[in-house]
Chains A and B, each alone.
Chain A
């Protein structure tokens, strides 16, 4: 199995994530479409998954024994495409076709168009149910595959998510892991009360709710991590992999920052679906290049 996992060290992952963030800004600026905040908050998780966690073969995307990954928060597609390009599913130049007519890189991921996608997503709340079906199916086939589903913290306000949260433990799918990108902001959300402070400029989607307790009450194992700390991400993924043959599904509540990585996008709800200008893409180039190892972003 090790052959499928490149031996990138953490420094490599940080450089890859910087490049991924730059790809996001350049792609959105070029196409005049897409989302920024979510792809940037999820970038470190995506890079860790595609370069260190997922057992995949980019040159053989239908490999039966592969792990599966579903981006249930499909509007963060630009982030996924950026990482898939870095990982070698297609050339980075194809990112320029994002959202253009005839492109394989649709605004929301389309599994019929782009090899390597394990589900089509976009209408929120649906990916976890699909992931449960895949996890049940791979286990029934005797495959070693683990299925990871990334959801947004705003997304899990959708009722369908909780239908699957309820059912998955009944089918003993230890090979199913939900990763919630808890970036604390949704598209509009709720305004902050005077004097109230949250991580972003709007109230957290689950303010006042004990998410860990809710998942645990449904029978899930819960891991809480810093979604920008590669050490914590990889340790959590090692832990869920170790439980893959078991009967308890895991949710990783990954605390992240919306728009992470650029001073002008971090923690700003308006960057949920704002399009970057050419000047902002230039600013991103400067900021990401100024960081240690930033030359990789060129």
Chain B
């Protein structure tokens, strides 16, 4: 366990702001949750409190980006992908504004706050937005690398941050490359495709399957959009069954992405593990992961059933 993604995000932004005076942070009054308060303390002249007003914040960030500044936004994912979606669409995505969305508390694990705050549709919504780059880090090292890459790259970026700490998947020398998918584990019988913090749990599931004699590979997709479609198709072509696993609805997110690619290139059964068509709820993280089949044990169990049925 290392620092949580939100802490790494904030600390990386402090470093980046040390290097680049144009890096700014705009917050919609959630800085103590998103950890942007650390940035506010380190760079008070580059931290802008916009009040509990996400729509205005998004527009103002789009405006200041036109002067060459690199505004990062601090709020919960839901308040970008749901409340301020029209502003993200018109003021940011349609103008290809250089605005970086730090979407905190995404996925199921939103600190017991329930269906209003849980964002399990963000990938589906943002994927449908032309020109939007969507990144979902697996761990602290990848989160830091993505934050650094996004700051230095022109155009809108949605960074899907998890509230909780998780196991390390990569080492500190990890380098982020857009579009790249990463085969973390070879396997000949099942390919598990995952993204974000779910990747660590998916790797653990592959270990369990290996103990049962099922050879399961794990493909990590850190860059949901743009993504290397040919690479996903090539890895999928080498196995009879593809299973996607995500802390997101099974509609339109990673599962949708992989299904679109696989059906167009190398027809294979694609099983999508994630939140079925339902809302989130208030509950401890472990309970939620268990309920939606996202623990290593539940993933392995589901894959065994699929494998045995084939």
Contact present for A166 and B63 (CB under 8 Å): no
* Selected contact of A137 from candidates B51, B59, B63, CB within 8 Å: B63
**Residues 177-206 of chain B: 1 if any A CB is under 8 Å from the residue's CB, otherwise 0?**
000000000000000000000000000000
Binding site secondary structure of chain B: helix
Q: Tell me the minimal C-beta distance from A129 to chain B in angstroms.
A: 3
Q: Tell me the minimal C-beta distance from B54 to chain A in angstroms.
A: 8
Which of B85-93, B140-148, B210-218 lies at the interface? Answer: B85-93
Name A73-130 residues within 8 Å CB distance of B.
110-112, 118-123, 126-130
* Selected contact of A126 from candidates B59, B61, B68, CB within 8 Å: B59
Contact present for A137 and B67 (CB under 8 Å): yes
Name A159-216 residues within 8 Å CB distance of B.
159-160, 163-164, 166-167, 171
**Residues 55-76 of chain B: 1 if any A CB is under 8 Å from the residue's CB, otherwise 0?**
1111111111111110100000
* Selected contact of A159 from candidates B55, B59, B62, CB within 8 Å: B55
A134 and B90 in contact (CB under 8 A), knowing A111-B95, A163-B55, A163-B56?
A: no
Contact present for A133 and B86 (CB under 8 Å): no
A120 and B94 in contact (CB under 8 A), knowing A134-B64, A137-B66, A141-B67?
A: yes
* Selected contact of B51 from candidates A122, A123, A166, CB within 8 Å: A166
**Most chain A Cβ neighbours within 10 Å, of B56, B59, B65, B87:** B56
Q: Residue B53 at the A interface, CB < 8 A?
A: yes
Contact present for A120 and B86 (CB under 8 Å): no
A120 and B53 in contact (CB under 8 A), knowing A133-B63, A133-B64, A133-B66?
A: no
Contact present for A163 and B63 (CB under 8 Å): no
* Selected contact of A160 from candidates B87, B95, B96, CB within 8 Å: B87
Complex CA gap A112/B66 in Å reads 12
Which chain B residues border A122 with CB–CB below 8 Å? 90
Q: Tell me the minimal C-beta distance from B56 to chain A in angstroms.
A: 3
Which chain B residues border A166 with CB–CB below 8 Å? 51, 53, 56
Contact present for B51 and A126 (CB under 8 Å): no
Complex CA gap A120/B91 in Å reads 7
User: Residue of B at shortest CB range from A137?
Assistant: B67
Which chain B residues border A129 with CB–CB below 8 Å? 55-60, 62-63, 87, 91
Complex CA gap A121/B95 in Å reads 10
Contact present for A133 and B61 (CB under 8 Å): yes
Q: Tell me the minimal C-beta distance from A121 to chain B in angstroms.
A: 8
Q: Residue B50 at the A interface, CB < 8 A?
A: yes
Binding site secondary structure of chain A: helix
Which chain A residues border B96 with CB–CB below 8 Å? 112
Q: Residue A259 at the B interface, CB < 8 A?
A: no
Complex CA gap A192/B251 in Å reads 47
Q: Tell me the minimal C-beta distance from B88 to chain A in angstroms.
A: 11
User: Residue of B at shortest CB range from A132?
Assistant: B60
Which chain A residues border B95 with CB–CB below 8 Å? 111-112, 119-120
User: Residue of B at shortest CB range from A171?
Assistant: B48
Contact present for B69 and A130 (CB under 8 Å): no
User: Residue of A at shortest CB range from B46?
Assistant: A140
Q: Residue A131 at the B interface, CB < 8 A?
A: yes
A136 and B87 in contact (CB under 8 A), knowing A112-B96, A163-B51?
A: no
A132 and B91 in contact (CB under 8 A), knowing A159-B55, A163-B56?
A: no
User: Residue of B at shortest CB range from A147?
Assistant: B63
A118 and B91 in contact (CB under 8 A), knowing A133-B60, A166-B53?
A: no
Contact present for B87 and A126 (CB under 8 Å): yes
Q: Tell me the minimal C-beta distance from A61 to chain B in angstroms.
A: 13
Contact present for A136 and B55 (CB under 8 Å): no
Contact present for B51 and A140 (CB under 8 Å): no
Q: Residue A244 at the B interface, CB < 8 A?
A: no
Contact present for A136 and B90 (CB under 8 Å): no
Q: Tell me the minimal C-beta distance from B142 to chain A in angstroms.
A: 30
User: Residue of A at shortest CB range from B89?
Assistant: A123
Contact present for A137 and B69 (CB under 8 Å): yes
Contact present for B66 and A118 (CB under 8 Å): yes
**Residues 211-250 of chain A: 1 if any B CB is under 8 Å from the residue's CB, otherwise 0?**
0000000000000000000000000000000000000000
A160 and B66 in contact (CB under 8 A), knowing A111-B95, A120-B91?
A: no
Contact present for B63 and A119 (CB under 8 Å): yes
Complex CA gap A118/B95 in Å reads 11
Which chain A residues border B53 with CB–CB below 8 Å? 163-164, 166-167
Contact present for A134 and B66 (CB under 8 Å): yes
User: Residue of B at shortest CB range from A117?
Assistant: B95
* Selected contact of B60 from candidates A111, A118, A120, A130, CB within 8 Å: A130
Q: Residue A138 at the B interface, CB < 8 A?
A: yes
A167 and B63 in contact (CB under 8 A), knowing A112-B96, A123-B90?
A: no
Which chain A residues border B91 with CB–CB below 8 Å? 119-120, 126, 129-130
User: Residue of A at shortest CB range from B66?
Assistant: A134
Closest 3 CB pairs of A and B: A133-B63, A129-B59, A137-B67
* Additional 16 contacts, C-beta under 8 A, given A129-B57, A163-B56: A110-B94, A112-B96, A118-B66, A119-B91, A120-B95, A127-B59, A128-B59, A129-B62, A132-B60, A133-B71, A137-B66, A160-B56, A160-B87, A164-B56, A166-B51, A167-B56
